[in-house]
Structure 1
Amino acid sequence: MDVRNALESQAATTWTVEMHTAGEPTRIIISGYPVLKGATLLEKRRYASERPEIDGIRKRFAIDPTRLLPTNKDTRVPTIQNHRLMLEPRGHAGMYGAILVPKTELTLSGEADIGVLFCHNEGYSTMCGHATIALGRFLVDTRDLEIFPHRESLRVETRDDQARTSVTVLRLHAPCGVVKVYVPTTPDGKSDATKPVRFHSVPSFASSPSSEHGHGLVVDIPPGSAWPKLLSRDSLRVNIDIAYGGAFYALVSTSELGFGTTGLRGSDTDFREIAEAARILRIVLNKDPKARESFVHPDEPDLGFLYGITIIDDRVAGAGTDGKKKQTWVCFFADEQIDRSPTGSCVSAHVPLAVDQGKLQMGEWCSYESFLSAQFPGNAFRGRAVQKTGKAYVVEIEGFAHYTGVSTFTCPQEDIDVIGEGFEVKLPIV
């Protein structure tokens, strides 16, 4: 095709592989992303977030369709290229990306096989479970040494199960540390789509120790900020937990937020009000000095921030119909982005919390559903604690990922397509 060839010959071309894990997309960027400078992966992440030519203070359009006019919002935004790939018209409100970084300080030292930076509508994350599961399959399947120079050095193990499953082991260097990924493999060396990918988290822990009320933190929501369901309660005080699984999460039940009778999936559940509750809770926590102490990472300042608000449906928490432990939740992260999957790094955060509270035993599996995966059997994540050192746990998480396509994105050299730089359409929440 003449138009296709002409477009692909332009300098600003990016190639991606598209996957999803329990409905949450992973756009794996394999070529065409700007070179990220830095001696360490965290320095590369910082460079991507702060360099004026890649990231800067720009006018961002958050379109309110009820007014049909752009609402200008000055904010620090992701790299221009990240904006193009995550937001419309090339992406969408729920897009998530993974930028492969073949050379990091840990690949050079032999401690990792490849690095990755995770990206979303706001910038760059430090860990992502659903994308790790997708990357496990892709990095085993690829044989392109330009994409993955260490592909041929991956180790293959035989799992001690009835099927004697072959598993390829991948050491993925994420910004939070090295994550070991175990990918079931077919005899021809490809990933086995019929078996779940597993990964072992970085050391994960409950950051806010439980007090006499069973939760780590108590926060007061200002009356002027409270949402309708919370105002219907006797108190505006909310009990939450903070835990770390490669990123920090605030975990709170639907009952604590005033949605005890409806949960996440009740017939009269107003999901917009739930989203507004998550947005307000994030603001309150980030302003609370005591809460901010719970977001401090013991080793790395760059990891010390609140990434997500996870709302647990306590109407269906506990044991499922098969008697096994189960949780259903929804996670709001970055710039009010909604995770379609059960949020793997939040599973890494929740399991240590549940073990510390006596709700899970070491080695005991718990099934995790999102508001979406609960509608489609077979898409849950499972998590269990497999190792403890001090107060931290290594958590094993498993789930399925699937290919959805490949994409080639171009950006015309003439700088006239302002809307093509990326935009988002946001409805008023309440």
Structure 2
Amino acid sequence: MELQLPPHEGDELSVVDMHTGGEPLRIILSGYPEVKGDTVLSKRRYVREHLDHLRRVLMLEPRGHCDMYGALIVDSETPEADLGVLFMHNEGYSTMCGHAVIALGRFAVDYGLVKEPQSPETQVNIHCPCGLVKAFVQYSHGKTGGVRFLSVPAFAFATDVTVTVEGFGDVAVDISYGGAFYAFVSAQCFGLDVSKSRTRDLVDAATAVTKAVKSQVKLHHPTSDDLAFLYGTILTDGKDAYSSEPTANMCVFAEAQVDRSPTGSGVTARVALQYHRGLLGLNQSRTFESGATGSRFTGRAVQETQCGDFKAVVVEVAGRAFYTGVSRFVQEADDKLARGFLLK
């Protein structure tokens, strides 16, 4: 029989849960009020200022957890977009999320957000806060499969920047943009292995790097100040030169949140960095592996472009997302923890 909630007072929110490479995505179907704003970026500011309690409800305990990730579908001001999206996590709102784009591409086809799906691939144009991202969803006999997407212009912002990291001293990091800014450094700099060391040790090192870069390096983006912030740090296995073997990394972002996937926007930024250094050629595909789960994405630079004064590339990232469930959540009026909490 279909289970129903007993009589209660309080608002309900409905979601579809998915994961891409082990990284969760909670897609919000209903329960949000109108999100105001003329652009996706202004909508991002609006939810941050007026509706942040709903992010806390869905991302944090007791309905979520410290590593939950979410997507709110909104209208886009861009005519060619099939949907707009706002990304959310334990700290706030991202400007880009590749694992979410992979899941949303499949979701958009399955839930009828794209008219007349085409075989062997259906294109889904997703307007993220960083810009328009084009996803291509495998589609055959009514079923969806793997997804690849083309990024916004990605570029190396700075290389071999020395920052003083608390507990570790001076460390050289690279900073690259793939829809969001990341600092990159080999885990070996901290005596760690990105695939074998304790997650807590990797998180502590990455968090220390993020704090150092935020305080010592000023970022800027050619098109919007809203994009000019460091999202997190990606620790790598140091294997940046091209190889047919996978290269592993682990992304720690927001409030010490660990990405279970290889990180779609992180792969985008890492490909741009490797291309900038001459370690990866145009249309030369690499496999990127999550140090947390062993799940894999592929990434390649497919086109040279420009982003302001930066020489940039469009990056194609490919992976697979899966459904995990459908849920209805309630906020009972007398529940003192209804708005969620995050254990420190």
Task: Name the structure 2 match of 1:44.
Answer: 43
Matched, 1:167 2:121: yes
Q: Distance in 1 between matches of 2:122 and 2:70?
A: 23
CA contact (8 A) 1:205 1:245 kept: yes
AA matched with 1:131: A
Q: Distance in 1 between matches of 2:272 and 2:141?
A: 36
Matched, 1:181 2:135: yes
Matched, 1:425 2:343: yes
Q: Which runs of 5+ in 1 are unaligned?
A: 55-78, 159-165, 231-235
Task: Name the structure 2 match of 1:163.
Answer: none
TM-score, with normalisation over the residues of structure 2? 0.94
Matched, 1:127 2:126: no
CA contact (8 A) 1:243 1:353 kept: yes
Q: Distance in 1 between matches of 2:10 and 2:39?
A: 27
- TM-superposition CA deviations, 1:223-282 (whole Å, max 9, x none): xx31xxx3xxxxx210100000000000111122x21xx41234xx34323212222221
Closer/same/farther in 2, CA of residues 384 and 397 from structure 1, 3 Å limit: same
- TM-superposition CA deviations, 1:56-97 (whole Å, max 9, x none): xxxxxxxxxxxxxxxxxxxxxxx1111010011000111100
Task: Name the structure 1 match of 2:263.
Answer: 343
| Structure with higher strand content | 2
Matched, 1:26 2:15: no
2:246 is paired with a residue whose SS is strand
2:252 is paired with a residue whose SS is strand
TM-score, with normalisation over the residues of structure 1? 0.75
Task: Name the structure 2 match of 1:76.
Answer: none
AA matched with 2:227: L
CA contact (8 A) 1:317 1:326 kept: no
Closer/same/farther in 2, CA of residues 393 and 87 from structure 1, 3 Å limit: same
Matched, 1:388 2:298: no
CA contact (8 A) 1:318 1:325 kept: no
Q: Distance in 2 between matches of 1:317 and 1:179?
A: 25
Q: Which runs of 5+ in 2 are unaligned?
A: none
2:4 is paired with a residue whose SS is helix
2:134 is paired with a residue whose SS is strand
1:246 is paired with a residue whose SS is coil
Task: Name the structure 2 match of 1:248.
Answer: 181
CA RMSD of aligned residues (A): 1.9
Task: Name the structure 2 match of 1:65.
Answer: none
Q: Distance in 1 between matches of 2:199 and 2:89?
A: 21
AA matched with 1:167: E
Task: Identify which of 50, 60, 70 aligns with 1:87.
Answer: 60
Q: Distance in 1 between matches of 2:95 and 2:271?
A: 19
CA contact (8 A) 2:250 2:262 kept: yes
Q: Distance in 2 between matches of 1:197 and 1:380?
A: 13
Task: Name the structure 2 match of 1:117.
Answer: 86
Q: Distance in 1 between matches of 2:249 and 2:296?
A: 11
Task: Name the structure 2 match of 1:272.
Answer: 200
User: Which has more radius of gyration?
Assistant: 1
Equivalent residue pairs, number: 340
What pairs with 1:141-156 in structure 2 (closer than 5 Å)? 141-143=110-112, 148=113, 151-152=114-115, 156=118
Shift of 1:127: 0.4
Task: Name the structure 2 match of 1:191.
Answer: 144
AA matched with 1:405: G
Q: Distance in 1 between matches of 2:198 and 2:90?
A: 24
1:408 is paired with a residue whose SS is strand
1:90 is paired with a residue whose SS is coil
Matched, 1:306 2:306: no
